[in-house]
Copies of this chain bind each other. A is one copy, B any other.
Amino acid sequence: MLGLMQNRQLLISTMIEHAQKQYGDIEIVSRTNEGPIHRYTYKDCAGRSKQLAKALTKLGVIVGDRIGTMAFNGFRHMELYFGISGMGAVCHTVNPRLSADNVAYIVNHAEDKYFFVDLPFVPLLENVESRLNSVEGVVIMTDKAHMPDTKLKNVICYEELIQSENDDYVWPDFDENTASALCYTSGTTGNPKGVLYSHRSATLHAFSALSGEGLSFSHKDTILLVVPMFHVNAWGIPYASAMCGAKLVLPGACLDGRSVHELIEKESVTVSAGVPTVWMMLLKYIKDAHKTFSTMRRTIIGGAAVPRSMIETFKKEYNVQVLHAWGMTETSPVGTACHLKRKHEGMLDDDFFALSAKQGPPVFGVEMKIVSATGEELPWDGKTCGRLLVRGPWITSGYFRGEGGEAIDAEGWFDTGDISTIDEDGYMQVTDRAKDVVKSGGEWISSIDMENQTVGLPGIVEAAVIAVPHPKWQERPLVIAVKQPGATVTKEDVIDHLSKSMAKWQLPDDVVFVDELPHGATGKLLKNVLRTKFRDHQLV
């Protein structure tokens, strides 16, 4: 027997519609590529998102079409989030820090019909344009006055595009399971894989973000969105902000400590969200410049494990509470958020910081378990490590176009590839990555990919890539290679070679040559041995 409730669908358009009607006067503040600070309201954003949807319709975009974006956090990117998804097309955010090869692969794999690009990324797009098979036109996200000279073909100016339309547009109604957004993971093996979000998953995830065990956002907040909008829906914060009417501050390209601090103070930011690297730069800046935070009392950190020392510094020096969260592209992303529970009230500092360094309990909607290598469920004792599996309505069920085969098991569990403990109170802590990805400033660098590229250089027999701790980027890649007898390959040769296929920030900080690499019984590289041996290796 079915209930007799209205069959209203959970759609992203209803979020911006709600913001328009209920929070029409609340500001969205952006640092622009053109220079000045831009400010407008949710009402403006809603109207322009509708203009965009009309313009895209006129360009022939229909439900299900993929539309690429490569942009910093700014108001036009917000309009893409709502305009593209709202009309039923798929907002495909592309990470501009990927190599040209990867960008070309991803855009072709997604079959993006149009591509929206921020000014600073026009040269990058010019480089790959000839290899893009599906893109019918490139929209440069600026106004007429700032349009660059470009060799791109079929170029459209964003402001001209939308100004040709009015905002007399009614968001269409459709199945909430319709695809809304697409984001590729930079996986450790094989090609990048696309995670395809739905309107339903985005809405449920945003509902969770508004709860006290999620990210606790409300209309009282001014949120500084440092996490890039090309990363996993910017953690769903554009959606959640519209739903609750939070003021939103978008920092554009300037993520240095001074610029971020200036925005926090000028806009009276109450909460920020981003990866540890940005906060390291910020903490360094405010320490050196003897600054404080007048209004910011919370910061949400994820994307990589947060060092306990950072949590302590924020709390003790600046009275800012760190909310440590965990997730991945495949989980929309928020899976856990490390809130204290009732029993932790009055906890001593030492216990508090130890607990806060965990990734925390799963939010409602996400189920978790840890399993052994044979799939047996392991106890929640805070000590036993196992592969972390998750399940829930905003967890992937498989990758775009079936890449990578089955992503979930018969009971619907997704293997995160993380190795974790879960304690008696349900707090999850990631202890290791099953694969050996290098986490550099919130970005992942595939060690296996780099190894494969390295051995592609004549004179190299074998290579291992491991992460070495780094004070600013947390981890940086170190290549450990074995030369062919008599070969004269140098460190510079390796880096030159890798730079042909990798972005600059992905390149290894050092290359060392050894006589042989350690292997296990089945021939697998023993990276643990290398990690121990090179733990104190000085990167140059």
- Write out the residue numbers on chain B whose beta carbons fall within 8 Å of the beta carbon of A208: 207
Confirm or deny: A399 has a beta carbon within 8 angstroms of a beta carbon on chain B.
Answer: yes
- Write out the residue numbers on chain B whose beta carbons fall within 8 Å of the beta carbon of A201: 3, 5
Tell me if A180 and B4 are in contact (CB < 8 A).
no
Tell me if A3 and B211 are in contact (CB < 8 A).
no
Tell me if B211 and A211 are in contact (CB < 8 A).
yes
- Write out the residue numbers on chain B whose beta carbons fall within 8 Å of the beta carbon of A393: 5-10
In angstroms, Cα B367 to Cα A26, docked, is: 19
Confirm or deny: A196 has a beta carbon within 8 angstroms of a beta carbon on chain B.
Answer: yes
A178-B1, A218-B212 in contact; A6/B90 too (CB < 8 A)? no
Interface residues of A in 1-42 (CB under 8 A from B): 1-10, 14-15, 18, 21-23, 25-26
- Write out the residue numbers on chain B whose beta carbons fall within 8 Å of the beta carbon of A64: 1
In angstroms, Cα B368 to Cα A14, docked, is: 13
Tell me if B204 and A213 are in contact (CB < 8 A).
no
| Nearest CB in chain B: distance from A333 CB, A | 13
In angstroms, Cα B2 to Cα A63, docked, is: 10
Name which of A212, A213, A396, A408 has the most chain B CB atoms within 10 A of its CB: A212
A3-B179, A364-B15, A396-B5 in contact; A212/B219 too (CB < 8 A)? yes
| Nearest CB in chain B: distance from A363 CB, A | 9
| Nearest CB in chain B: distance from A66 CB, A | 9
A211-B244, A212-B220, A217-B212 in contact; A199/B412 too (CB < 8 A)? no
Tell me if B391 and A6 are in contact (CB < 8 A).
yes
- Write out the residue numbers on chain B whose beta carbons fall within 8 Å of the beta carbon of A69: none
Q: Which residue of B lies closest to A427 (CB)?
A: B22
Contact of A3 among B18, B178, B243 (CB under 8 A): B178
Tell me if A177 and B341 are in contact (CB < 8 A).
no
| Nearest CB in chain B: distance from A513 CB, A | 43
- Write out the residue numbers on chain B whose beta carbons fall within 8 Å of the beta carbon of A396: 4-6
| Nearest CB in chain B: distance from A86 CB, A | 15
A25-B343, A219-B213, A426-B21 in contact; A243/B5 too (CB < 8 A)? no
Q: Which residue of B lies closest to A201 (CB)?
A: B5
Tell me if A244 and B364 are in contact (CB < 8 A).
yes
Q: Which residue of B lies closest to A64 (CB)?
A: B1
Tell me if B210 and A4 are in contact (CB < 8 A).
no
Confirm or deny: A342 has a beta carbon within 8 angstroms of a beta carbon on chain B.
Answer: yes
* Residues of chain A having any CB pair with chain B under 8 Å: 1-10, 14-15, 18, 21-23, 25-26, 63-64, 90, 175, 177-180, 195-201, 204, 207-208, 210-213, 216-220, 243-245, 247, 332, 339, 341-343, 361-362, 364-365, 367, 391-400, 408, 412, 414, 426
Show 7 residue pairs from A and B whose CB-CB distance is below 8 angstroms, ordered by the A residue.
A4-B195, A4-B398, A4-B400, A6-B391, A21-B426, A207-B211, A245-B342
